[in-house]
Amino acid sequence: MMMKNIAFCLFLAVAAVLSIPAQAFETPVTDKQGKALLEKTADDLSLYAKQAGTTKFVWGNIISGGSILVLQFMPEDIVDPSQWTRMTSMTIYGLSGDPEADKELINKLIIGFESQYKRTGTDVIDNNYYFNGDKAMFLKYTQNAGHPEEVQVASVFRRVSDKTYAFIQLNGRVKPLKETEVK
Residue 65, pLDDT > 80, answer no
Distance CA 90, CA 157 (A): 10
Burial zone of 130 (CB within 10 Å; 0-12 exposed, 13-18 middle, 19+ buried) = exposed
Residue 143, pLDDT > 80, answer yes
Query: In DSSP terms, which residues pair with 152 in a beta bridge?
Result: 142, 172
Residue 126 pLDDT grade (very low, low, confident, very high; cuts 50, 70, 90) = confident
8 A C-beta contact, residue 59 and residue 71: yes
Mean predicted confidence (pLDDT) in 147-154: 86
Q: Other C-beta atoms within 10 Å of 90: how many? A: 22
pLDDT in tens, 74-88: 999 988 888 899 999
Total-model pTM = 0.79
Backbone angles phi, psi at 132, to 5 degrees: -130, 55
